[in-house]
Structure formats: structure tokens, C-alpha cells
Structure 1
Amino acid sequence: MLQLEHINLVVRDIPTTLAFYQAAFPHWFVRDEGQGEWYGKSRNWLHFGDEYQYLALSDHGEGENRELSGHQVGLAHFAFVTNNLDAMKARLSQAGYQIAKGGSIDAYRKNVYYLDPAGFEVEFVEYLSDNPKERNLSS
């Protein structure tokens, strides 16, 4: 068995980025945090998640994130599955975050995209079928 354990995001400001993910995942918690050095540059780091998966945030980022409408090499987006997309959107809206891009119209899933404060595109998807063949159809 393989599963994704964590995503490591380099940001400029941990508290601002953390606030977005706390709104999205109110059941997650700060697992650990500290300070260190990354190739000669000091940084703060924080792990936010549950007992099985987490986001690793480090605050030593410089420059801007990849232009999402461009063609540069890099991360396009990452996605989380939710069993209630409407509740997710309501939590993020209440916290002041707006939808960046609506998802596709599909009989077997609903999805939506947000930009986190560090400029990473995050997709949230709710599947409307338990059948993997239906869930994985391209729109």
C-alpha cells in the first residue's frame, strides 16, 4: 500500500497560510513546529494535519509562486477529497476566502479551486459515486 503522507510547501508567512488550512480542516492540529536551517538560510517550520497526513510549512520562501495561467514547470495544484463540498465552501467563505475557479460540471463529482495565501492552487472535490470508473471519468 502507498499513500501520500505529507506535502511540503515553502511559503513566506506561516501564520497567514496556516489560517487558510485551519478554515478548510478544522479537525487538524499543529503536530509539531520549530526552527532550523535550509542550505544556509534560517527558517521556521510547522506541521499541520492529523495522525496520518499533514502539510509541512516552511517560511523561507523568496519570490513569487508559479504563474498558474502560464506554462512554467512546477506544481499546478493539489487536491483534497471531502464528503461535503458545500460545508467546505461555507467554512472558507466565512473565513474570508473566495473561490478562485469553479470546477467542471460532472454527474459523478463536484469540485472547486482556491488559491491559498502562498499562491498554491488547492482543489477540493466531492465524489458523488463510489464506483471508481465513474469517479475517474474525464469531463
Structure 2
Amino acid sequence: MQPYVEHANITVRHLENTIRFLQTAIPEFSVRHQGQQPTYRWCHIGTDATYLALQEVIERDQIDRHPYRDLGINHIGLVVEDILQVRARLLDAGYRENDLETDHPWRKRAYFFDQDGIEWEFIQYLSDDPVQRNDYSL
């Protein structure tokens, strides 16, 4: 068996906002399950093979972490079939795009922020060749 990432667990402010963001970007993502613990709500959203585990933050609205400087997740990368469609859906829904340089001959990328300020990277690979897909020379 080839190892792969099955899921990532992320704390968010409001489940509904993050679910709406993810399903806007990737309509094929479905909510696999939702639950309620005594102090928080959670859900698993994704495909049959992989998913994101979302947990609602407990009694805290202030985020004092600075991405790319403090410990924690900086962004989450999701592979998509058509980056132009993802980008159009997110822009049409009013989500803010990061202006990172994304030119590369073997992949197209777009970075967007959800309502919690979490950055998501969407990647469309333009080659099935692992050497080209994993090229970091640029």
C-alpha cells in the first residue's frame, strides 16, 4: 500500500462558513458526518478516500497567530481538476484571493482565504509525470 494523507483536523470559527467555502471551491466535497460534543461541534467533509476534519473553536473569537511566522498551519493544498472554475466560483462568492506568484509550467495554483482567514491553496496539475509535477526549479 502506498501511504497517503487521509485527513487533517482544523479548528474553525463557524462550521457552516467553512463548509460553504469548501463546497463552493469543490462541489464534489460532501459532509461525511457531523457531530456535537458537550462543548463543540465538528464535521468531516471531503470524498470517500480523504477528508478534512473541522472542529468549531471553543469560546474564542480572537486569532492571535500570524501565518508564516508563528507555529501552526499556513495553508492547506487541495488538488482540483479545473483551477479556473474553482477561482471563478470563489471570486463570484466574494472570497478574497491571495496575490502570491503562481506561475509554473506543470501546475496552476490559486490561494484563497475563507471567512476565518485560513488560507487554502488549490492546485491543478498539468502533467501526470511525477518528475514534472514535483519540479521545484522555479
Identity of aligned residues (%): 34
User: TM-score, with normalisation over the residues of structure 1?
Assistant: 0.86
Structure 2: unaligned runs, 5 residues or longer: none
Structure-2 residue corresponding to 1:48? 45
1:81 corresponds in structure 2 to: 79
Picking from 88, 91, 116, the partner of 2:114 is 116
User: What are the Cα deviations for residues 40-65 of structure 1, in whole angstroms up to 9, with x where unaligned?
Assistant: xx001111112111111111243316
Give the 3-state SS of the residue equivalent to 2:87 in structure 1.
helix
Cα distance in 2, alignment partners of residues 112 and 28 from structure 1: 18
Gap runs ≥5 in structure 1: none
* Residue aligned with 1:134, SS: helix
Runs of 4+ in 1 over 3 A off after TM superposition: none
Provide the rounded CA distance (Å) in 2 between the counterparts of 1:117 and 1:47.
Answer: 18
Corresponding letter in the other structure for 2:92: Q
SS in 1 for 2:52: strand
After superposition, the Cα gap between the structure-2 partners of 1:71 and 1:104, relative to the gap in structure 1 and judged at 3 Å, is: same
Q: Is the 8 A contact 1:103 1:110 kept in 2?
A: no
Match of 2:20, SS state, is helix
Amino acid in the other structure paired with 2:97: I
What amino acid sits opposite 2:65 in the alignment? R
The amino acid of 1:121's aligned partner reads E
| 1:34 equivalenced with 2:35 (yes/no) | yes
CA distance in 2, matches of 1:107, 1:79: 18
Residue 132 (structure 2) aligns with = 134
User: What is the Cα-based RMSD across aligned positions, in Å?
Assistant: 1.6
